[in-house]
């Protein structure tokens, strides 16, 4: 695995703009060939340009239009939930790095004057959240849903990992969200699916908070 998140540029958040102390950054050990990316307009345009090049080379303008819409919608949704980073296969990664998976990082905020303790308790009682690999710093919850993509039925496994932001008094937490896609006929105990879940569990367990400057 390769830890690349420390190479990301410093990001200025809303708390800094309002005069508050910025939240610390974090690093993860990622799957081989994966990198951390931002969710700003430059990254969105870079991805769209790459999609255009590849679809034009394949003479698929119809596919370009559809993928462009999917990318625009994905970035819009990520910004709505305070996403701070996404993790994907690098542009130059080998084919083996392209997994049917996505991982994003966002910041979860408590209600004014409250902590996230009640949120975590509800996740434990209602959704069956458990400590990740026995580490009580990170709570893990998993759920299964169905979806449709281009007319094809899919099963979607979503794994959420929640850990408090240091220095926030448990009023803010880092939420890592893993989404795994598979065919509707693929069972929940399919070995490749179990292996991917185990891989990302290990990746998230390496979470390290970076000291502030």
Fold classification of 84-208 is Protein Transport Mog1p; Chain A (3.40.1000)
What gap in Å lies between CA 186 and CA 171, rounded to an integer?
39
Segment 51-72, tens digit of pLDDT: 777 777 776 777 667 767 767 7
Per-residue confidence (pLDDT) for residue 213, from 0 to 100? 55
**Cα separation values, 169 from 12, 113, 172, Å:** 21, 11, 8
Per-domain residue ranges for the chain? 38-80, 84-208
Q: What values do phi and psi take at 52, rounded to 5?
A: -60, -45
The answer to whether 203 and 29 have CB atoms below 8 angstroms apart is yes
For range 113-117, the mean pLDDT: 93
Rounded mean pLDDT of the chain? 84
pLDDT band at 80 (very low <50, low <70, confident <90, very high): confident
Comparing 114 with 6, which gets the higher pLDDT?
Answer: 114
């Amino acid at each position: 695995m390769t830890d690349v998140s420390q190479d990301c540029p410093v990001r200025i958040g809303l708390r800094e703009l309002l005069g508050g102390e910025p939240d610390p950054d974090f690093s993860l050990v990622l799957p081989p060939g994966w990198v951390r990316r931002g969710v700003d307009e430059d990254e969105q345009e870079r991805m769209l340009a790459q999609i255009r090049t590849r679809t034009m080379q394949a003479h698929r303008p119809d596919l370009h239009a559809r993928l462009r819409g999917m990318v625009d919608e994905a970035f819009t949704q990520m910004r709505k939930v305070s996403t701070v980073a996404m993790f994907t296969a690098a542009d130059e990664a080998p084919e083996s790095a392209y997994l049917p998976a996505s991982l994003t990082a966002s910041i979860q905020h408590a209600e004014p004057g409250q902590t996230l303790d009640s949120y975590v308790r509800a996740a434990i009682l209602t959704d069956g959240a458990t400590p990740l690999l026995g580490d009580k710093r990170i709570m893990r919850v998993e759920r299964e849903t169905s979806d449709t993509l281009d007319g094809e039925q899919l099963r979607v496994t979503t794994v959420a990992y929640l850990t408090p932001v240091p220095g926030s008094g448990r009023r803010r937490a880092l939420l890592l969200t893993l989404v795994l896609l598979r065919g509707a006929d693929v069972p929940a105990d399919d070995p490749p699916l179990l292996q991917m879940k185990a891989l990302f569990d290990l990746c998230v367990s390496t979470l390290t908070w970076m000291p502030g400057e």
